[in-house]
Amino acid sequence: MTIHREGYATLLIVLIVLTILYGPIEYFYPENLLLQRIAMGFCLIVFLFFLQFFRNPNRNVFINENYILAPADGKVVVIEETQETEYFADKRIQISIFMSPFDVHLNRNPIKGVVKMVKYHPGKYLVAWHPKSSIENERTTIVIQHENGKEILIRQIAGAIARRICWYVQENQIVQQGSELGFIKFGSRVDIFLPLDAKINVELNQKTIAGETIIAMWN
């Protein structure tokens, strides 16, 4: 278990703010040990709350050219056939994974392949389960082409709390299965659009682990 690099600056700011808040209590109430302990406990809880956002656990990635791995930790909230209009302009199977504030927020590449498209969209911050969040919220769209010629689309979507989406891939880059795709600070949602003939391997409300859970297989 390590701390992801995206958390360094945020955790430093949180630590400075908590130190500033705690300092006056110790200065003005030097003999009130109970108050100091309560304040210290509060600061510790707050810091640990932010710390867990940026944890980066070791993962045993199931590398297999026939697997499509989960891009995010979280819960499967959507499995449906839908019209994808931004890139494919045809019907795809959409799988959506909701990332709660307590999930790991690092996203991983579901397959090995060539990045065909990376596009960032500024937008709103509707709650992640809002029907229009996938088209109105801050988001990125990433398309990866497998060596079999088929393509998948991954969409990172910010939510009501998230205010920054990070991505680590660029067009024409060859990415490895399970490697870092990006990071959504403080959670939200990741959608993945698959060909209609993909064999789905997850169910609604199932918990997923990025890089480990096999969400689908190529036909």
Note the pLDDT tens digit of each residue in 171-201: 999 999 999 999 988 768 899 999 999 999 9
Q: CATH number for the domain including 141? A: 2.70.70.10
Angle between helix 33-53 and helix 8-28 axes, rounded to 10 deg: 170
- Report how many domains make up the chain: 2
Q: Say if 61 falls within a structural domain.
A: no
Q: Are 142 and 188 contained in the same domain? A: yes
Q: Are 71 and 107 contained in the same domain? A: yes
Q: What is the mean pLDDT of residues 199-215?
A: 96
pTM summary value: 0.85
Q: Are 200 and 104 contained in the same domain? A: yes
- Check: CB of residue 87 under 8 Å from CB of residue 195: no
Q: Say if 202 falls within a structural domain.
A: yes
Q: Are 85 and 17 contained in the same domain? A: no
Q: Are 155 and 205 contained in the same domain? A: yes
Instruction: Report the distance separating Cα 215 and Cα 204, nearest Å.
Output: 11
Residues spanned by the domain of 133: 67-217
Contacts of 86 (CB under 8 A, 6+ apart): 119, 141, 153
Contacts of 34 (CB under 8 A, 6+ apart): none
Looking at per-residue pLDDT, the higher value among 213 and 101 belongs to 213
Q: Quote the tokens at residue 79.
A: 């499995």
Q: Say if 62 falls within a structural domain.
A: no
Q: Say if 83 falls within a structural domain.
A: yes
Q: Are 177 and 198 contained in the same domain? A: yes
Residue with structure tokens 């200065």?
27
Q: How many CB atoms lie within 10 A of CB 35?
A: 13
Q: How many CB atoms lie within 10 A of CB 71?
A: 30
Q: Which of 25-39, 69-83, 127-141, 142-156 has the lowest mean pLDDT?
A: 127-141
Task: Return the pLDDT at 161.
Answer: 60
pLDDT in tens, 102-148: 898 899 999 999 999 999 988 665 555 555 555 667 889 999 999 99
Instruction: Report the distance separating Cα 142 and Cα 219, nearest Å.
Output: 22
Q: Are 41 and 146 contained in the same domain? A: no
- Say which amino acid occupies 159: G
Q: Are 28 and 98 contained in the same domain? A: no
- Check: CB of residue 110 under 8 Å from CB of residue 68: yes
- Check: CB of residue 144 under 8 Å from CB of residue 192: no
Instruction: Report the distance separating Cα 150 and Cα 79, nearest Å.
Output: 19
Q: Say if 130 falls within a structural domain.
A: yes
Q: Say if 146 falls within a structural domain.
A: yes
Q: Are 168 and 206 contained in the same domain? A: yes
Q: Quote the tokens at residue 106.
A: 């690092």
Q: Are 160 and 52 contained in the same domain? A: no
One DSSP character per residue, 160-171 reads SS---EEE---T
Q: Are 79 and 183 contained in the same domain? A: yes
Q: Are 93 and 179 contained in the same domain? A: yes
Q: Say if 101 falls within a structural domain.
A: yes
Give the pLDDT band (50/70/90) at residue 164: confident
Residue 133 among the catalytic residues: no
